[in-house]
Amino acid sequence: MKTRRKLTPKQTNRNLLLSDTAQVDTKPQLEIYADDVKCTHGATIGQIDENALFYLRSRGISKEASRDIILNAFTNETLESMTVDSVKKYCTNLVADWFNQREQALKELTLDSLFQQTNRRRRHGRI
């Protein structure tokens, strides 16, 4: 087996927690079988940046749309760094499907909420 020398691999593991009850167990690990290699690795875990959320909300963007903008930026950064086209395309489609399902669910929630509000107003004679 041929061993490569003078490499500088980097491993990054970023995790975004989307709820107060979400958890992640992460352990970045590189297996190195050469002496002449410089490697870096690290992991970050966090929730959506409240300052970024506030910035978008202060410009009239809804809370859900603001979250989606931040999530989209987070996922796109990872997708853009992928170098294997077939894997990149597959993952891009997975993320797009997830966002489409989320958007549809939010629309249904919004319609259901409007329907419930209308029914409450009718019961109380406000319509």
- The per-residue pLDDT for range 30-84, each reduced to its tens digit, is 666 666 667 666 666 778 888 999 999 999 998 888 888 888 888 888 899 889 9
More confident residue, 105 or 117: 105
Helix (H) or strand (E) holding 47: strand 40-47
- Local structure of residue 113 (DSSP, 8 states): H
Q: Tell me the backbone φ, ψ of residue 47, rounded to 5 degrees.
A: -100, 175
- Residue 120 is predicted with a pLDDT of 72
What is the C-alpha to C-alpha distance for residues 15 and 44, in angstroms, rounded to an integer? 6
Tokens at residue 52, please? 């970024």
What is the C-alpha to C-alpha distance for residues 127 and 115, in angstroms, rounded to an integer? 13
What is the C-alpha to C-alpha distance for residues 104 and 112, in angstroms, rounded to an integer? 12
Confidence class for position 92, pLDDT limits 50, 70, 90:
very high
- Confirm whether pTM is higher than 0.85: no
Res. 89: pLDDT tops 60: yes
Count Cα neighbours of 57 within 13 Å in the Cβ-side half-sphere.
9
- Residue 1 is predicted with a pLDDT of 46
